[in-house]
Structure 1
């Protein structure tokens, strides 16, 4: 009786239900097949998004490169035309007088010579700077006036992005048209040695026998307060090297065009 009673007090065992036999394999299948499948799908989606992001960055980079390249090519083509114009027109100098030069250019505070402020209009006139001791005679005065006039004529119709147009006579000095910098005439330093700078040496026939446009390293102009790079070519007078001609392109002007290509627009 006791043995039977002990047995009768045991909890009866039940057979696994149908739901167990269905849910068990299903859970295993989810773990074995569906889980990795979801992970692979997520990885593929993430890869596609990353590929799309990289493609957008690559397209933006290509557009930046194209804009930079176009800007530099445009500046090179412009300065090459400017150099050819100077060379072709400097065989004969007519229409100017030494008296006109004296009326337009006078002594500067540092011993050189510079364009007079009276009557100077930056959107019309190019500035003339000459260092102290520049060898001036009537023929040279007429020559400098012609350089000034031709620089103004070229700049009035020149296309493209250069901020200025200038030339450096082989004896030193500078003729520059910079219409956007209205106060530059008051910031002239006629003691600067342009002849031994890269603005001239890169254009010398000994260094550039083919006369191609050459780019200077980036430099800082304290008057304009701008970082810039210059492209230069030689020009000739009666077949003899007469100086270098150039344009400047500011770093800010280049970066401004890049800001238009922001991949992610700024949130206000």
Structure 2
């Protein structure tokens, strides 16, 4: 008898559990964003680190989910497929939580004219003062909440609505610039995603591990900034959890690359 139905059932159960955990964490964030959010009263401001991290990391996670789904179709290697499955489920769950927080805070998921990661180096008070500066429109990153958490969409999630020449370099609070054609540090370009989709076997495994290593390094830098700057306790905890988990996965991926006669990119 085919095991496919059982496999789908297990995958569906995992996604359902992830959504339940996301809902519970979102409810917790409702309380945290008010009386427990440091010294601030009420929800975070439009340009606060809390809101900026939720918006930017949701976009960052979207691409990780997409890359993971791509590689699962391009290799039969169980180690890589298992890692990709774990990353896709974890980051889809976290992405749903962050988008849910923005909804609860009454804040848009995109802000026109706001460069990616510009919140790094911005205080909560700065974020509240910026609410009336005319940057409340939609049309920035492209994380509009309509893509869901499975990472499927038609544009590969690379530029999120920005020009491919957009880069967060030059903003205060972070030192790693995005490479040309990438929206944020660590993110892959459309060309790299196309290469991954066209590769197979070992070539796909190595490219995925290299791209995800870069992706994790950029994500860790952003999460570390939120762990320092965000005022919502549950969001700070999530950010620190991302740092710890992704550092562990970086070690794992370096080992997996070594076993395939490759190494992380410079």
Indicate the TM-score class for this superposition, using the shorter chain for normalisation. under 0.3
The structure with the greater share of residues assigned to strand is: 1
Q: Which structure has the bigger radius of gyration? A: 1
Q: TM-score, normalised by structure 2?
A: 0.26
